[in-house]
Amino acid sequence: MRLPSDYEERVYAGVLGKIIGVYVGSPIEGRDYDWITHELGEINYYVQEVMGRPLIAPDDDISGTLTFVRAMSDYGFNPDLTPAQIGQTWLNYLIEHKTVLWWGGMGTSTEHTAYLRLKAGIQAPDSGSARLNGRVVAEQIGAQIFIDAWGMIVPGQPQRAADLARRAASVSHDGEAIYGAQVIAAMESAAFYERDIERLLDIGCSVIPADCLIYQLIRDVRKWRQTYVDWRETRSLIEQHYGYAKYGGGCHIIPNHALVIMALLYGAESFQRALMIVNTSGWDTDCNSANVGCIMGIRLGLAGIDAGPDYRGPVADRVYISTADGGRTVTDAVHEALEVAHIGRELAHEPLPAPKNGARFHFNLPGAVQGFISEDSSTCRGTATVENVPGHSLSGERSLAIHYHNLAPGRSARIIRETLPDYRPGSGYGIEASPTLYPGQVVSARLQADGANAQPVNASLIVKTAGEDDKMVQVTGVTTVLEPGRDALLEWRVQAPTGCPIAWVGIELTSQSGAAGTVYLDWLTWKGAPEVCLGAPEHKGNRWIQAWVSALSAFHGSCDSNYWLIQNEGTGMAAQGTREWRDYGVQAIFTPHLARSFALGARVQGLKRYYALRITCQGQAQLVRELDGTTILAEVPWHWELYTDYSLRLAVFGNHISAEIDGRIVFELDDSSTLDGGAIALLAEEGRVGCGKVIVKPLV
């Protein structure tokens, strides 16, 4: 089956619908119907302000969905991808007690239980089996909430979607939980071609046994929908027959799946009404709302999401996906949708070039702003708005319009996009992140001034870095004068002081004469490896440490030795950088105080995918490839002592790897693998290691 002509846009609508659903439901997660209706009434929009919660926050429903499907790309788009490979993807991207999951403990959190099984060497599907974990644990809701992307990568193939859902769900779940996940995935796959909700439910039921409980509850909810006009009557019956009182554990799939089906039936053709029903009904609101939002987004498209209140404006496509791949934590709905669609195209053997020659921000989908917002500071407040508009692009269909006014000395318009989050959770899910932009990388953008502008305007590329006490300091790059109707290409090799991670990138517009008008941002991107020293700043602040993703027992920074790596058991790492880094050299000075081994990593793609130059307590220097197990590519004897400094350097260029210790080349070889790009890492095994002078430079 060929992909639909609007495939990318429909995937974007599905991803965006899921994200919006999570944001609507997350502040009231765990509340019941009575509390919600008494305290808040019907949930017709975001209630974060009322509940004292931030709108943009990490959530397992988003992070798990868009992380676990990476198994497909990590394993070469293999249509026969196995549960064991998906389980390995869990181990690669999850940092225990920190990212993606609710870490509630063995036998309490289904996903944590499965993770502990995987960590102990029990592969999927045994890791999620009821035989090992018990039926109650195995039939909680997680399989359903993590499943949406698997339906979107095989549009119009519900049986195949159900099969993929079974493989993915079996990593952590069993029984009715897998059936529920299969129903959702099959409906999402079919929704690319089928809009009728009754027909979609028929398709969903066709992929599961007719004698299972999920099939029975769907039959009952459909019958109640035909009997009762008011959804509240059906909700009451769901609570009576399929409620939490009957199905135990932290969050069982049966009650929540019933609410999802109810919301789809009563929501009909209204995205807002479907979200209102499922969120007002309570229980696991963010999970249920996410599934409903995704299905409705695929069914109705972007027009369906836009038909009600402005859900998209406050969100601005922004999302955090906190994993061991910290360079992808700060992301957006467009980027994630195209990653999902890329998998779908590879599986369908219908690849397409990336929009606008692969520009990071291309605005090529309707309404997309990709996280760009107007700066709300005293010098900028009220000077600009952004809008996605057709045209004004050399190689695409759309662009980002920057409408500015009241520019004058001391008043500028800044359109900025986050590159390192300043998010401190008071509760809920934590965050691990690295910057997406670094000094030494080249930022470029194409701008066009509207022909109706009355006068020229100055346009500059800017970044904001964490300075003294982590306050933002602006660094202004190249500036050009945009005459009305003219366009310009801006290009700038970014610079920032040591220890000042880049937190924002953007465009600044200035004028000396009260200018007003519109400038169009066609695209903005950056490329190349960084040229940066990842060390302590000369001033006070903590962002330089927070820019590292830590999978260590403890990770500290100090001005004298820069970093302390402490690992109690096994091997831990602190990583920084992005998957886009390809050809570069990294060097650092290590001082072991107690360690079985210490290492410098390159092309790091998570906890289980990287190259490393390692020195072991057995007196060996090794070049290691970690990829579905540990492969020692080369080793030589190497005597070392505690409390002594060792300078390690690792360089990767294409398939070539070069490794040095104290200025001496110890390894030089070629290796062909899927590790074609990634971050850098500092690694320690069972001990305490000091580390300093971490330098990354491009290889040319």
pLDDT at 187 over 80: yes
Res. 426 pLDDT band, cuts 50 70 90: low
pLDDT at 297 over 90: yes
Question: Which residue in the block uniquely carries the two structure tokens 């066609």?
Answer: 522
Is the Cβ–Cβ distance between 112 and 101 less than 8 Å?
Answer: yes
Q: For residues 584-608, give the mean pLDDT.
A: 97
| Integer Cα distance of 371 and 417 in angstroms | 6
Is the Cβ–Cβ distance between 228 and 238 less than 8 Å?
Answer: no
Instruction: Extract the tokens encoding 632.
Output: 């020692």
Lowest-pLDDT range of 97-101, 328-332, 633-637: 97-101
Instruction: Tell me the chain's radius of gyration from C-alpha atoms.
Output: 26
Q: For residues 664-687, give the mean pLDDT.
A: 96
Q: What is the pLDDT of residues 597-619, one digit of tens each?
A: 999 999 999 999 999 999 999 99
Q: What pLDDT, on the 0 to 100 scale, is given for residue 254?
A: 98
- Tell me the three state secondary structure of residue 579: coil
Res. 430 pLDDT band, cuts 50 70 90: confident
Res. 1 pLDDT band, cuts 50 70 90: confident
| Integer Cα distance of 428 and 163 in angstroms | 32
| Integer Cα distance of 306 and 309 in angstroms | 7
Ordered DSSP codes for 47-111: -HHHHT--SS---HHHHHHHHHTHHHHHTTT-TT--HHHHHHHHHHH--TTTSSS----TTTSHH
CB within 8 A of 101, min separation 6: which ones?
A: 60, 64, 94, 109, 111, 112, 115
Beta bridge partners of 10: none
pLDDT at 330 over 90: yes
Beta bridge partners of 210: none
Q: What pLDDT, on the 0 to 100 scale, is given for residue 539?
A: 81
Is the Cβ–Cβ distance between 562 and 555 less than 8 Å?
Answer: no
Q: What pLDDT, on the 0 to 100 scale, is given for residue 618?
A: 93
Give percent above pLDDT 70 in the chain. Answer: 99
CB within 8 A of 342, min separation 6: which ones?
A: 73, 351
Q: What pLDDT, on the 0 to 100 scale, is given for residue 53?
A: 93
Q: What pLDDT, on the 0 to 100 scale, is given for residue 635?
A: 97
pLDDT at 39 over 70: yes
- Tell me the three state secondary structure of residue 282: strand
Kindly give the interhelix angle for 213-227 and 231-242, rounded to the nearest 10 degrees.
150
pLDDT at 571 over 70: yes
Res. 689 pLDDT band, cuts 50 70 90: very high
pLDDT at 535 over 90: no
* Torsion sign over Cα 215, 173, 239, 300: negative
pLDDT at 357 over 70: yes
Looking only at the bridges linking them, the beta strands covering 646-653 and 656-661 are: antiparallel
C-alpha 24 chain-centroid distance: 18
Q: What pLDDT, on the 0 to 100 scale, is given for residue 358?
A: 96
- Burial of 626 per CB tally in 10 Å (0-12, 13-18, 19+): buried
pLDDT at 561 over 70: no
List of E strands, 213-357: 318-320, 330-332
- Burial of 568 per CB tally in 10 Å (0-12, 13-18, 19+): exposed
Is the Cβ–Cβ distance between 140 and 249 less than 8 Å?
Answer: yes
Please, what are the domains in the chain? Answer: 7-320 (1.10.4080.10), 358-528 (2.60.120.260), 548-698 (2.60.120.560)
Torsion of CA 174, 178, 179, 181, to 10 degrees: 160
Is the Cβ–Cβ distance between 177 and 137 less than 8 Å?
Answer: no
pLDDT at 559 over 70: no
Q: What is the pLDDT of residues 619-664, one digit of tens each?
A: 999 999 999 999 999 999 999 999 999 999 999 999 999 999 999 9
Is the Cβ–Cβ distance between 363 and 400 less than 8 Å?
Answer: yes
Res. 560 pLDDT band, cuts 50 70 90: low
Tell me how far CA of residue 59 lies from CA of 139, 150, 326, 331, 675, in angstroms. 20, 18, 15, 13, 28
Q: What is the pLDDT of residues 189-240, one digit of tens each?
A: 999 999 999 999 999 999 999 999 999 999 999 999 999 999 999 999 999 9
pLDDT at 501 over 80: yes
pLDDT at 427 over 70: no
| Integer Cα distance of 115 and 134 in angstroms | 15
Q: For residues 517-541, give the mean pLDDT.
A: 93
Q: For residues 370-398, give the mean pLDDT.
A: 95
- Tell me the three state secondary structure of residue 179: helix
- Mean pLDDT value across the chain: 96
Give percent above pLDDT 90 in the chain. Answer: 92
Q: Which of 303, 379, 310, 301 is closest to 337 using CA atoms?
A: 301
Q: Which of 129, 213, 211, 141 is closest to 174 using CA atoms?
A: 129
- Tell me the three state secondary structure of residue 482: strand
pLDDT at 440 over 80: yes
| Integer Cα distance of 160 and 466 in angstroms | 47
Q: What pLDDT, on the 0 to 100 scale, is given for residue 209?
A: 98
| Integer Cα distance of 395 and 364 in angstroms | 10
| Integer Cα distance of 605 and 263 in angstroms | 39
